[in-house]
Amino acid sequence: MSRLSDREKKKKQLVNKLIDLREMLDELQEAITEFQEAEEKIQEKIIEYEKLSALGRLTANVAHEIRNPITVIGGLAERLKKRISPEAKEKEYLDALSSEAKRLEEILKEILFFSDKAFFKREMKDINKIIEDSLIIYEDTCNKAGIGISKNLGNVPQIYIDERQVRAAISNLISNAVDAMPEGGTLTVTAGVEYISGKNYVVVKVTDTGIGIAEENLKTIYEPFFSTKSTKKETGLGLPITRKIVEGHGGLMKIDSVVGKGSTFGLFFPYRGR
């Protein structure tokens, strides 16, 4: 009886060891899978970085080459406008020429900012004030488009940022949100604090109730010159520049969108909690 009992104990111990071994193998397999997924994401990032770097060098060279001719064309158009009668038909043509030259100069500025290494002049700033100032600029546009503005600005700490660049990033998102609601809707801007993966973030979220973004477009939304907008006046650099600004501050950007319901764009700026 004792021998049988010993055998049963050894058998039970062996079974327990096999169970432990199986759990260890499962954990190891899970770790391997996570590592492979992480490696794939890193590889995708490297490919994206190399592609954007090559594109950045190309666009910068092109931008520098055509910047001076465009400036000359715009300047000549302005000079000719002063020499002809305001009632002349040519005046209308020159106005259009001058306007398009200025638009091209703005596009070139965006291209050069995107392709060059960004320089940030950082100071402690209240991001709620930046949001308030940005929304004021779009009040008339929203009223005319039948878009209501809702804001929920929490008690967030001041953060070390470049005010001009962050203002541009927030304005880009607000402008995109307005364009996404051609039939009207609600623009919601919130500011708060989130704790993610051991880091504190001040988070600005811009939400629209517009057309949303198709899933296949979410993968290419950050590519330069890609745009889901129908107007040809857009360069497709708004979101890439916005992400560059946020990442330049050590932060990150997230998108959540549903076709027919709207989109939420989140800007995450890191800060040190007390």
For the chain, give the longest Cα–Cα distance. 120
Give every CB contact of residue 214 below 8 A, 6+ residues apart in sequence.
228, 259
Q: What is the DSSP string of the chain?
A: -HHHHHHHHHHHHHHHHHHHHHHHHHHHHHHHHHHHHHHHHHHHHHHHHHHHHHHHHHHHHHHHHHHHHHHHHHHHHHHHHTTS-TTSHHHHHHHHHHHHHHHHHHHHHHHHHHHSPP----EEE-HHHHHHHHHHHHHHHHHHTTEEEEEEE-----EEE-HHHHHHHHHHHHHHHHHT-TT-EEEEEEEEEEEETTEEEEEEEEEE-S----HHHHTTTTSTT----S-TT--S-HHHHHHHHHHHTT-EEEEEEETTTEEEEEEEEEE---
pLDDT, position 8: 78
**Res. 231 pLDDT band, cuts 50 70 90:** very low
Does 38 or 226 have the greater pLDDT score?
38
pLDDT, position 235: 53
Provide the percentage of residues in the chain whose pLDDT is more than 90: 35
pLDDT, position 167: 92
Does 16 or 268 have the greater pLDDT score?
268
Residue 117: pLDDT over 90: no
Amino acid identity of residue 93, one-letter, is Y
**Res. 126 pLDDT band, cuts 50 70 90:** very high
pLDDT, position 188: 96
Least confident range of 22-26, 237-241, 248-252: 237-241
Distances (CA, A) of 42 to 39, 49, 106, 244: 5, 10, 34, 18
Q: What's the mean pLDDT in 263-272?
A: 92
Per-residue pLDDT of 185-216, as tens digits, reads 999 999 999 988 888 999 999 999 999 988 88
**Res. 248 pLDDT band, cuts 50 70 90:** confident
Give the range with max mean pLDDT: 59-68, 71-80, 106-115, 224-233: 71-80
Does 218 or 243 have the greater pLDDT score?
243
Give the range with max mean pLDDT: 43-57, 69-83, 243-257: 243-257
**Res. 220 pLDDT band, cuts 50 70 90:** confident
Least confident range of 40-49, 82-91, 118-127, 164-173: 40-49
pLDDT, position 253: 92
pLDDT, position 56: 62
